[in-house]
Amino acid sequence: MMSKLMSGAAAVIALAGTSALRAGDQFNFVEASGVCQGGAHRMVGEFQDALGWDRQEYGGWGSCEPKRGQFNDQPIYDFGKAAIEYRKQGKQVLPIIDYGVDWACDRTGTFIAGDKKYVYHPGPNGKVLVDLYKREGDGRWTKTAGDAEANPGFMPIAQEFVPDWENHVRRVVKILRAPPYNVEYFQIWNEAHPDSGFWQGDMDTYMTRIHLPAAKVIHELGGKVVYGGWPCCGSLHDYVALLDKHRAWSSIDVLDVHYFPLSAFPFLRQESRKRGFNMAIWQTEVAFTTDINYVGNTYPRFVDWCLRNQPAHDKYKLFFFAMWSPDDPKAYGYGRTFLSGERPSGHGKSIVTLGKLLKGANVKLYAPVTSMPQLKPELDERLSAMEAFLVDDKRIVVAIHMIPSNSAKIYLDADGNSIHLDMGTPTVALAFPELKKDRIANVERWSMTGSVTDLTASVAAAPAGAGVILDAPIRDADLKDGNYIDMPEGQLRQTFYVAITLK
């Protein structure tokens, strides 16, 4: 494709500067990259540059107060010791304050959540039973299950025991906020929603008996509140409406959602600003997918969006779910987690790769780069795109996403030109109109899982001295027996990187 670029270099370079580099935009990748259920021994080792946060449970209310008034603070102190280990390596840990306990659950409550109704009643041997109903189109309730054993952990707390819940939250936060632990952020519950499986009641009861009481205590003790991960089984409009109804925006420091596309970030930022807030937005669970392209296709777009929207310390984060699954195709979570057994999966390698490429205290947007075919930053994961970053003024990193237009794995550009992504040696031509060749130490092409090919020899001066140009192969070089290493059958790598080290 180099000959095509040479003949049209002026047209390519004329596209430069379509995205502006803004003074003061900064971003530290590792501070925005977290994992769930990690563990300090893994976080501070070989993944030092890839993961800056871990999200963990400390044992929950049940382990700390198995009977009313019978307190056991050891799980909280153990969590605090882990927080110290994280901090020694510059890492942070997010505790989840959950779930209910059997002695505090509402054993005789009736809760209506949309088209679901839960009717709880006592059962034998101290158990709680629940009758489940669904609302028919004519408004009638039809029983779908009767005398099913309920899980007290996910049941609403009885109103009379809300002070006990507040007391538990106070014990957790008071211990972990104090030196030497100094934990700042606390997440309340996990995925409270009648369709998530982690909350079997209505959302108004959740807000009045769980969230708002806990948030009040956390703020009184100087901590910051992370909402409990609004799950993708509920709409973002319902999330916003719930916060509006209960005037709960000020009770939250971090808006948090789970498993939404990246478009959730601008939506939530817009809604919070409409209400006079400029809130942090995190996704404390993402991925858990067999799509090996998830990290490569999503994380660079996320970084680009953050840099365009007032990046600040702890403002935006992604937490990969989860750290580990057995290295066994029959195991739950296989191919979906950061580690498969003791080795990084394709997902893990992808996050490690980005950690290496974007390692630095100051990551900025880098505008002066264009491509043929023409690509630009796109937040929509379904679109081909390109993002470019400048890391500590020492390294330019360009992320390129080539998304097939159909099952034949053909990319079709805006002008109708086609590239078969799985055949031949297709390339993307890159132009850097403000970069001089003598400033380049080396140029490398990185696959999304970390294999490196030297492209330094392919760098050429652009016509009329207007910077440099190069061709970057779309297909990765790490093939074995015709298949990509670590790629599930039938999947095609959709992201690669070009890294330019500057003198």
* Nearest CA among 147, 167, 146, 57 for reference residue 104: 167
Q: 481 falls in which pLDDT band (50, 70, 90)?
A: very low
- SS3 assignment for 230-279: EECCCCHHHHHHHHHHCCCHHHCCEEEEECCCCCHHHHHHHHHHHCCCCC
Buried residues in 10-29 as b, exposed as e (16+ CB within 10 A): eebbeebeebeeeeebebbb
CATH 3.20.20.80 fits 52-99+160-287, yes or no: yes
> Which residues fall within 8 angstroms of residue 168, CB to CB, at 6 or more apart?
61, 64, 65, 97
Round to whole Å and give the CA distance between 494 and 87.
35
pLDDT score at 22: 44
Domain 2-22+360-502, CATH: 2.60.40
Contact present, 426 and 420 (Cβ < 8 Å): yes
C-beta atoms surrounding 472 within 10 Å: 21
Q: Where in the chain is the domain with CATH 2.60.40?
A: 2-22+360-502
* Nearest CA among 363, 368, 366, 340 for reference residue 29: 363
User: Region 186-196: what's the mean pLDDT?
Assistant: 97
User: Region 71-82: what's the mean pLDDT?
Assistant: 96
Which whole-number Å values give the CA distances from 63 to 54, 71, 163, 168, 418, in the listed order? Answer: 21, 9, 18, 11, 59
What pairs with residue 431 in β-bridges?
370, 469
User: Region 399-421: what's the mean pLDDT?
Assistant: 86
Sheet with 395-401: list strands edge to edge.
Answer: 363-365, 385-391, 395-401, 495-502, 440-447, 452-454
> Which residues fall within 8 angstroms of residue 227, CB to CB, at 6 or more apart?
187, 188, 211, 252, 254, 255, 256
pLDDT score at 479: 55
Contact present, 468 and 436 (Cβ < 8 Å): yes
pLDDT digits (tens, 9 = 90+) for 91-127: 999 999 999 999 999 999 999 999 999 999 999 998 9
pLDDT digits (tens, 9 = 90+) for 140-151: 999 999 999 999
For residue 427, pLDDT beyond 80: yes
pLDDT score at 5: 38
pLDDT score at 167: 98
Contact present, 210 and 200 (Cβ < 8 Å): no
Round to whole Å and give the CA distance between 174 and 217.
9
pTM (2 decimals)? 0.93
For residue 23, pLDDT beyond 70: no
Q: Where in the chain is the domain with CATH 3.20.20.80?
A: 52-99+160-287
Cα end-to-end span (Å), the chain:
28
What's the token pair of residue 399?
A: 């992320």
What's the token pair of residue 242?
A: 């719930």
